[in-house]
Amino acid sequence: MTDATTLYQQLGEGAGIATVVDRLYELIIGDETLAPYFATTRLVEQKRHMALFLAAATGGPNGYKGLDLDAAHSGRGITDEDFDKVIGYAAQALSEAGVAPETIEQVAGALMPLRAQVVTAAANA
């Protein structure tokens, strides 16, 4: 591969991302502090949207047609702690899939700037 190898390619493209997303939601739903957010969620759809979102965010095809992240998370009261846990679970799922640590760092680096769109809990005031 050349220097132009995208993160998407390093993750194993669509199939690799699908495996990681399956494991990510297993970890999220297995966490009693995160599971309630997804109580009424259709997980099959959610995983499909997340996989398409991640493909686009890592330099792959731009097939994501869901809500923008502000709208998707607005009013849900998601905290910084929740966000950090989800990033941690994403890193765990990537690691279990055999993704290299440097690549995991890069994925986390691509996700961190999304915090402001996802964290919707009122700041302590």
| Residues in touch with ligand HEM (CB under 6 A) | 34, 37-38, 40-41, 46, 49-50, 53, 66-67, 69, 72-73, 76, 78, 82-83, 86, 111, 114, 118
What the block records as the tokens of 45 is: 């759809």
Q: In this complex, which beta carbon is closest to ligand HEM, that of residue 12 or of residue 37?
A: 37
Residue (45 or 96) nearer to ligand HEM, CB: 45
Rounded to a whole number of angstroms, the minimum distance from the CB of residue 31 to ligand HEM is 9
The nearer residue to ligand HEM, 7 or 118, going by C-beta atoms, is: 118
Closer of 81 and 96 to ligand HEM (Cβ):
81
**CB nearest ligand HEM: which residue?**
66
Task: Report, in Å, the least distance between residue 9 CB and ligand HEM.
Answer: 19
List, as one string, the DSSP characters of the chain: --TT--HHHHTTHHHHHHHHHHHHHHHHHTSTTTGGGGTT--HHHHHHHHHHHHHHHTTS-----S--HHHHHTTS---HHHHHHHHHHHHHHHHHTT--HHHHHHHHHHHGGGHHHH--SPPP-
